Amino acid sequence: MSASFAPALSAAREAASHQHYPQGALFVVATPIGNLADITLRALHVLALVDAVACEDTRHTQQLLRAYGIERPGAQLLAVHQHNEAEAAGAVIEHLRHGLRIAYVSDAGTPAVSDPGARLVAAVRAAGLPVVPLPGASSITTLLSAAGMTQEGGFVFAGFLPTKAAERERAVVLLAAEPRAVVLLEAPHRIEALAGALAALGERLVTFGRELTKQFEDIVTLPARDGPAWLAGDANRLRGEFVVVLHGASVAADAGDDQRVLKLLLAELPLKTAVKLAAEITGRPKNTLYDAALALRKSEDEA
């Protein structure tokens, strides 16, 4: 344990030990996404209290627990990951039925959102057993809080887009029709492809968050068309996990934006549907967009 966490464990016992932690319950525990100091006092107390910890990667979780001064034998770490979650849930439920307290953690952040855990939680609830969430770090809300979005209407979490180029481009077409902000996740080896696909959205703002909460954290907001150039400007920008926020569509789009949106939508949708969605995205009158769409179709036919 780092000496700096000794007071945290003591504070966790003092602050959280008097609360109720039911037996036979699954505790879904959020863990830091990078900075170890982002653990909550209640999470520390529960991770020390429970009878076993179910986790995405037992080796990773063992290192995390030891960093906080929590020692557990390997037998108290249960592997529950995306490849065995359905089967492993049965073993967890049996432990719970015997009155044991089980915590579940993913490798980083809040479980059961993008990481594994949802199937486990669903199975435990279906068995009539309690699930207790312990909130904490989340890469999604971390970047949203720093993106400076001014549009109203909330956000949509889309996670990872398809890996195949054609499917990814079709997904971006649908995102163009989404007036709310959209949160995406991406791995470093695919971030250039994602930025290239989003570039078709032109002036629509995108916030890239890389290595959030870590030493080399990088957050930038720029027009979607400038994303590929920003990534290419420094080789280090291709390292680390990414969270990306596609800001909500502006209602004050210019004529150039009208053309870009219509081209994207017309490539995948019937003319009337494309015009309807374009009107919702840009705020332009449908009649104006309908005329523009007809002109685009005519120019394409003549080309």
Cβ burial of 170 (10 Å; 0-12, 13-18, 19+) is: middle
Alpha helices in 17-111 (DSSP H): 41-49, 58-67, 85-97
Q: Please give the average per-residue pLDDT across 102-112, as a whole number.
A: 95
Judge contact between 24 and 101, C-beta under 8 A: yes
CA distance 121 to 117: 6
Place of tokens 């400076």: 148
Judge contact between 181 and 248, C-beta under 8 A: yes
Nearest by Cα to 53 from 32, 33, 80, 35:
80
**Residue 70 in tokens:** 């929590």
Nearest by Cα to 33 from 223, 224, 212, 299:
212
pLDDT surpasses 80 at 89? yes
Q: Which residues contact 55 (CB under 8 A, 6 or more apart)?
A: 61, 77, 78, 79, 80, 104, 105, 106, 107
Nearest by Cα to 27 from 56, 47, 11, 41:
47
pLDDT surpasses 70 at 126? yes
CA distance 154 to 162: 23
Which tops the pLDDT comparison, 152 or 297?
297
Judge contact between 161 and 172, C-beta under 8 A: yes
Confidence of residue 292 (pLDDT cuts 50, 70, 90): confident
- pLDDT tens per residue, range 154-207: 899 999 999 999 899 889 988 887 888 999 999 999 999 999 999 989 889 999
Cβ burial of 231 (10 Å; 0-12, 13-18, 19+) is: buried
Q: What is the pLDDT of residue 255?
A: 57
Judge contact between 55 and 106, C-beta under 8 A: yes
Q: What is the pLDDT of residue 252?
A: 47
What DSSP state is assigned to residue 123? H
pLDDT surpasses 80 at 2? no
**Residue 196 in tokens:** 């290239």
- pLDDT tens per residue, range 217-270: 999 999 999 999 999 999 999 999 999 999 987 654 455 667 778 888 888 888
